[in-house]
Amino acid sequence: MRKLINCLVVVLAVAIAMVSCKTKSDYTPYISISSFLLNPEYENDSIVGCEDTVKVAYDASLDCYVLDTVSVSDTVVFVAGFGSRGNDLLSATITADTMAMAFRYRLNDDIHAALQPSSSEKDMKLYFNSGYNFVCFPVTYIPKKPGAHKVTFTVTSDSKFSPATVVVMQNVR
C-alpha cells in the first residue's frame, strides 16, 4: 500500500509540474493552399460542381507554386489557410496584381471576430487578436489579361521563426 501511495504522489507531482510549465513554443508559421477548382458551379452559395481542377506543382527555380495554365475570364477558387501551431497569429497579408486579376476572398463571422479593427480587408492586410493560431477561407480570382500572375501570401506569428511566405503563380493565356 505504501508503494502505491508513493507512486501516486510522484505521478501527482509530475502532473502538477507539467501543467504549471508555461513554455513558449517557436514553430515556423505555415500557409496551406488547396482545392484549386476551375469554373465552379454554385447553388445557394455552395459549390455543387466544377469544370475541372487546376494542377499545382512546386518550381524550385522560381521558388513558387505554379498552377496549370488557364484562360482569361476563367474562375479559379481555392482555400487558403494560415497557421502557427503553438504560437499566436499576428498578421497575414495577401499581395496580388489587381490590375491583372479580379481577386477576392471571403471571411466568415468567426474570422471577423479574430481580427483587430486595424485590419484592412480591402488592402488584404489582416491583424489578429491574441489567442488565434489558425484561420482558413475561400479565395477566388478571375484573370483579366494574359501573362504570368503571382499571388503572395505572408503570415507572421509570435514565433522567432516568423514570417512565412508562399507564392503562387498562374499562367494565363
**What would the pLDDT profile of 139-162 be if each residue is shown by its tens digit?**
998 999 999 999 999 999 999 888
Q: Which three cell numbers stand for residue 12?
A: 501527482
**What would the pLDDT profile of 22-59 be if each residue is shown by its tens digit?**
556 778 899 998 888 888 888 887 787 888 888 889 99
Domain-wise residue ranges, the chain: 25-172
81-92 as b/e: b if 16+ CB within 10 A: bbbbeebebbbb
Mean pLDDT in residue range 56-78: 92
d(CA 61, CA 64): 8
- Tell the CATH superfamily of the 25-172 domain: Immunoglobulins (2.60.40.10)
pTM of the model: 0.79
Q: Which three cell numbers stand for residue 157?
A: 506569428
Residue with cell 507572421: 156
pLDDT at 95: 93
